[in-house]
Amino acid sequence: MPAEASGTTPRRVGSRRYALAFVAATLVGLFATSVANKAYAPEMYATGGMIPAANAHAKGLNYAVFDLNLNIRALRDAQLARMTKTPDIIIIGASHWQESHKELLKGRDIFNAHIHRDYWEDLLGMVELLVKHDKLPRKLIFSLRDKQFTPVDDRKDWLWEPGIPAYRAMARRLGLEPESYLKTAPYDRARALISLPMLFENVTRWHNAAEHPMATDQTHFQSLDVLLPDGSILWSEDHKNIFTQERARRESNAFAQAAISDPPRIDAKGVAAFGKVLDFLKGHGVKVYFVQPPFNPVFYDRVQGTPYMDGLNRLDDLTRRIAAERGIPVFGSFNPHRLGCTADQYIDAEHANPKCLQHVWDEFIALEAAEGKS
C-alpha cells in the first residue's frame, strides 16, 4: 500500500525520525555534560566526591580544594563515618563558623560541623548523621542564623538540597510528616549539573589551575583553600588578597540594602520540628546550647529600624523563648558591638575571622565555667 494511502507520508516519517534523533541527541548531550561536570568538579557533584577529603582527615591530613563550592553535607557524612571517637563538643551551623578553629576553644575536644546555607531541615538532618554514625556528643551547639526557619518556597539558593535525605530520615525517626518531594527535590542542583556554562567554568578552572585538590600536610597555598580535620577552613593567598576591608564594607552595604525589605521569615512547621529534635536530644542525654553568629557592624548598623531588623528581633525572641522553655543556655549575639567584634574582622556582611569568633567562644568558655561552679 502506498504511504499516502496509509495516512503516513514520507515527510511525516522523516519529521518523526528527526524529532526522535533530536531528543536522543539532547539526552546524550545532557548526560555527557553531567558526567563531565562530575569529573571536573567532583567535590560538588560526584557521588563520593568528598570521600578523598574525609579519608585525608581520618589520617590527620588536610585537604586542599579550589574553593568552598563543594557538597559539604556529604563531607560531614563521610567524616563522621570515619571518626574513631565521638568529639566532646560539636557545633552545627552555617558558614559563619568556617574559620572557627579548634584552638579557639583552648584545648576542648570540638568538631566544627558547619555547612553552607543551612535551613531548619538541616537541624534535623545533621542530627540524623550524628545518630547514624553513633556520634552524638556530650555537648551539641546549634547556631541559629537569620534565615534558619525560612519556608522552602521563600528560599533563593539551593545548597541545602543535598541534605534533604538525612532530614527525611530524621523526620521519620521522630514520627513527623516531611516536606513534600515536590518542594524539596534537587531541581536547582540538577540544573547546575547539566549546565554548559558551569561545565565551561569547571573545565577552564581545572586546566588553568597551577594546583589541584589533594590531601596534604600543608596549610597554605596560593590558589587553594584548605579543609582542616577539625571542620574549619583556611583561605588561599589569592582569597586573602581579595578580602580587603573595602570589599567587606561594600559587600556589607549591598547585603544590607537587599535585606532591608526582606526580613527573616519563620516557618512554624520548622520550629515545631526543631522542638522535636531538642526533645530527642534531651532523651539521649545531650546537653544543648544555642549560639547566635554576629554580623559585620557595617551591616548591623545599616539595618537598624528596618523591616529586616523587626524580623531579626522576632527570631531572637523565638530563640530565647525556646531556650527558656527547655533550659538551654544561649551565648553569642547577632549584635557585634556587644561582643566587641569590629568591621576589620569580617570578609563580608556575615563571615567573621578568628579574632571575632574568639569573643564568641570566650562567652561559651565562661558559660561552661559558671556551669561547673553551680
Contacts of 63 (CB under 8 A, 6+ apart): 52, 53, 56, 57, 213, 214, 215, 216, 226, 227
What confidence category does residue 200 fall into, taking pLDDT thresholds of 50, 70 and 90? very high
- What per-residue confidence (pLDDT) applies to 131? 98
Domain boundaries, the chain: 3-35, 43-373
- What per-residue confidence (pLDDT) applies to 373? 76
- What per-residue confidence (pLDDT) applies to 312? 98
- What per-residue confidence (pLDDT) applies to 63? 98
Contacts of 58 (CB under 8 A, 6+ apart): 79, 82, 83
- What per-residue confidence (pLDDT) applies to 50? 98
| CATH fold of 43-373 | Rossmann fold (3.40.50)
The number of beta carbons lying within 10 Å of the beta carbon of residue 8 is 11
The mean pLDDT value for 229-248 works out to: 98
Any alpha helices (H) in 152-195, and if so which ranges? 164-174, 181-184, 187-193
- What per-residue confidence (pLDDT) applies to 114? 98
pLDDT for residue 14 is more than 70? no
- What per-residue confidence (pLDDT) applies to 372? 85
- 176 in Cβ contact with 279 (< 8 Å): no
Residue with the larger pLDDT of the pair 100 and 2: 100
- What per-residue confidence (pLDDT) applies to 2? 46
Give the Cα-Cα-Cα angle 335, 339, 344 (nearest 5 degrees): 85
362 grid coordinates: 570566650
> Any idea how long the chain is?
374
What confidence category does residue 240 fall into, taking pLDDT thresholds of 50, 70 and 90? very high
Mean per-residue pLDDT of the chain = 94
pLDDT > 90 fraction of the chain, expressed in percent and rounded: 90
Tell me the β-bridge partners of 233: 227
- 226 in Cβ contact with 199 (< 8 Å): no
Q: What is the pLDDT of residues 28-58, one digit of tens each?
A: 888 999 999 999 999 999 999 999 999 999 9
- 298 in Cβ contact with 260 (< 8 Å): no
CA distance 245 to 242: 9
pLDDT for residue 260 is more than 90? yes
CA distance 219 to 233: 9
pLDDT > 70 fraction of the chain, expressed in percent and rounded: 96
Q: What is the pLDDT of residues 271-329, one digit of tens each?
A: 999 999 999 999 999 999 999 999 999 999 999 999 999 999 999 999 999 999 999 99
CA distance 334 to 300: 8
Element holding 342 (H helix, E strand): none
- What per-residue confidence (pLDDT) applies to 4? 47
Any alpha helices (H) in 243-292, and if so which ranges? 245-259, 268-283
pLDDT for residue 5 is more than 60? no
Whole-structure pTM value: 0.93
Q: What is the pLDDT of residues 149-180, one digit of tens each?
A: 999 999 999 999 999 999 999 999 999 999 99
204 grid coordinates: 577552564
- 3-state SS class at 346: strand
Contacts 24+ apart (CB under 8 A), 272-279: 273/120, 273/123, 273/124, 273/171, 273/174, 273/176, 274/120, 274/123, 274/124, 274/149, 274/322, 275/322, 276/174, 276/176, 277/123, 277/124, 277/127, 277/170, 277/174, 278/322, 278/326, 278/328
- What per-residue confidence (pLDDT) applies to 11? 64
Separation of CA 191 from chain center: 19
- 3-state SS class at 143: strand
